Chains A and B, each alone.
Chain A
Amino acid sequence: MRQLPFHYAFRNLGRSRVRLLASLLGSALVVLLVLAAAGFVRGMQQTLTRPAALHENVIILGTGSEESIERSQINASIEGIVAASIVGIKRRSGVAYASPEIHTLLPVKTEAASDTDRQAVMRGVRDVALLVHPHVEIVDGRFPRAGHDELMVGGLAAIRLGLPEERLAIGQTLCFDDRNWTIVGRFAAPGTVMDAEVWLPLTDLQIATKRPGTISCVVVSLEPADRGGRFVSIDAFTKARLDLEVTAIREQEYYASIAAFLAQIRWMIMITAVLIALGGLLGGLNTMYAAFAARVREVGMLQALGYTRRAIVINLSEESVFAAACGALIGCAVGLLLLDGLAVKFSMGAFALRMDAPVVFAGLVGGLTVGLVGAIPPAVRCLRLPIAEALKSH
């Protein structure tokens, strides 16, 4: 079968500026949308389930609070019991990798007089937390000292709090529990929930939240060898010591269960994106119908010359896909410029949109699909008339 020349398809794009613009914009928007949705999903997934970030730690927390560490409340002495009685906990230079922690959401103000409360994800920790969470790296300043109203903030904490980056610079203060706390350190934990947190000494947070003697959990690191077996031994320990009312759960599983919960949000985002994209597609279809309908007689003439319907549908699709491809490239460029690394906050913290190769690929495929799907029905409709009737149309 002989094809119509591509330059015919290409020049046909110039027949209506409005339509060309609509095609470009439509496909660019669809691509942006796909990029945003896919980048969101990907950023979220990576933050919550990235295996490398969640090396085999085990969280020991109150029985019944496995869904949410924030609700867990266990006796602070459990840390000592755990460190002393469980075999397989990692030890270096006599230090047991067992980090007692409080995880809580606290309303924070920028200054005492302010009316706006901002929910901060707070973690009360001791120095050992840096050993147990090796992905946390202090990039500026130092670890906060206990009893001095000091704290340190993660790389995405500003986004989580809805504050400009410089507002969380070292030396700035945040107000909670009727006191000003000075930021003395900044840390990075890229790709993990911790990146959006505010860390402060465990005892300070115990006082601020009026829960002396209790903690949320103990996070322990296991010796690398035979981690599965080690976990079984911790699990057995918590089940034997029912008096402690604690449960052991792998850190990875804990965040995976949150990810599963967030999967519902993910579906909502995907469905919304698809619906908006469909809207764009329908709009695009409409302009295509109009553009192709104006060419019914010309298409009849091409058939009279001997071109097959298939050759004509292919040429009309080329026209539309080419426009869509240009729009898709524009959409990708804008997406990479504006969306990559854009941080989004959610209840558990914040994470950054990821524009990696698969996401960009999905975006491009989305744009091209719009071009193709948007062209074929109008093209087929344009060819619906018998040639003799098409030649009579105006």
Chain B
Amino acid sequence: MAMIECRELTREYHKADQVIRPLDGLNLDVPRGDFLALMGPSGSGKTTLLNLIAGIDSPTRGSLTVEGSDLAQMSRNGLAAWRSTHVGYVFQLYNLVPVLTAYENVELPMLLQKISRRQRHERVSLALERAGIADRADHYPRQLSGGQEQRVAIARAIVTDPPILVADEPTGDLDKASAHTAMTLLQQLNQDLGKTIIMVTHDPQTTEYAKHTLHLDKGQLVEAGVEREEVPA
């Protein structure tokens, strides 16, 4: 069974008497350990799909099963608890809390876990280490570059050790070098830690780091992604 299964997945918005359907009967299987890049024109439903998989939005119709859980059937609080252990979200604009240090930002998701203070400290340090930003632990977001901020955000996404990472245009605001660093980091997380990653991108170059690329248009997959060779770990 695939880790993520979308069946006839549909998301609709009703504006006045108009129906907007960013996702229209989408079928998709994502196997465990995949690194999937999603491309497509603006408004094609990429973010919508990502939000559904991350459990921060609910489908109008169809089913969405992630690791055996039917997300469409979960309550609001049930989804919140599920998110805190199953997905890490990396945003285009990092979304770090400006009044917290890098360390404290990464610690935020860990405060939802029932573990000792010492264990928490170890996990936060490890995540910062992995993201290569441990030396900036005590810095506030305003004291960091965009690329560094994104690495803190990635540390925050992996600190709870979730099986799935979703990233919405994670390099959209980064220069080439920073984008490369961030993408390499994601690739390592996929290869070394076996994280299943779904990434939305507009930049064909970043798809090079992914294992598969899929194209969305008008809420549907338009063609099978070009299979890339598995890079040996």
Residues of A bordering B, CB below 8 Å: 2-5, 7-8, 11-12, 14-15, 297-298, 301-309, 386-388, 391
Contacts and interface: CB of A to CB of B under 8 A. Distances in A.
A389 to B, nearest CB: 9
A5 B51 CA distance: 26
B99 A12 contact: yes
10 contacts: A8-B97, A15-B98, A304-B56, A304-B89, A305-B108, A306-B81, A306-B85, A308-B77, A386-B57, A388-B51
A298 B141 CA distance: 13
A391 B91 contact: yes
Q: In the complex, which of the residues A5, A301, A305, A309 has the most CB atoms of chain B within 10 Å of its own CB atom? A: A305
A11 B99 contact: yes
Nearest to A1: B77
Contacts of A11: 99-100
Interface of A is mostly: helix
A303 B80 contact: yes
Nearest to A11: B99
B84 A305 contact: yes
Contacts, number: 65
Nearest to A9: B99
B109 A305 contact: yes
Nearest to B77: A308
B170 to A, nearest CB: 14
B95 A306 contact: no
A11 B98 CA distance: 10
A307 B57 contact: no
Interface in B43-95: 47-48, 51, 54, 56-57, 76-77, 80-85, 89, 91, 93, 95
Contacts of B80: 303, 306-308
Given A303-B80, A304-B56, A298 B112 contact: no
B111 interface: yes
Interface of B is mostly: helix
B102 to A, nearest CB: 14
Interface string B112-134: 10000000000000000000000
Contact of A297 (B48, B95, B100, B108): B95
Given A304-B89, A306-B112, A388 B56 contact: yes
Given A304-B83, A307-B80, A308-B80, A4 B111 contact: yes
Nearest to A310: B77
Contacts of B81: 306
Q: In the complex, which of the residues A5, A307, A391 has the most CB atoms of chain B within 10 Å of its own CB atom? A: A391
A266 B98 CA distance: 49
B70 to A, nearest CB: 19
B112 A302 contact: no
A151 B135 CA distance: 84
Q: In the complex, which of the residues A4, A15, A306 has the most CB atoms of chain B within 10 Å of its own CB atom? A: A306
Which 7 residue pairs spanning A and B have beta carbons closest together?
Answer: A306-B84, A11-B99, A301-B95, A387-B56, A2-B112, A388-B57, A306-B83
A319 to B, nearest CB: 11
Given A304-B54, A305-B84, A14 B99 contact: yes
Contacts of B98: 15
Contacts of B111: 2-5
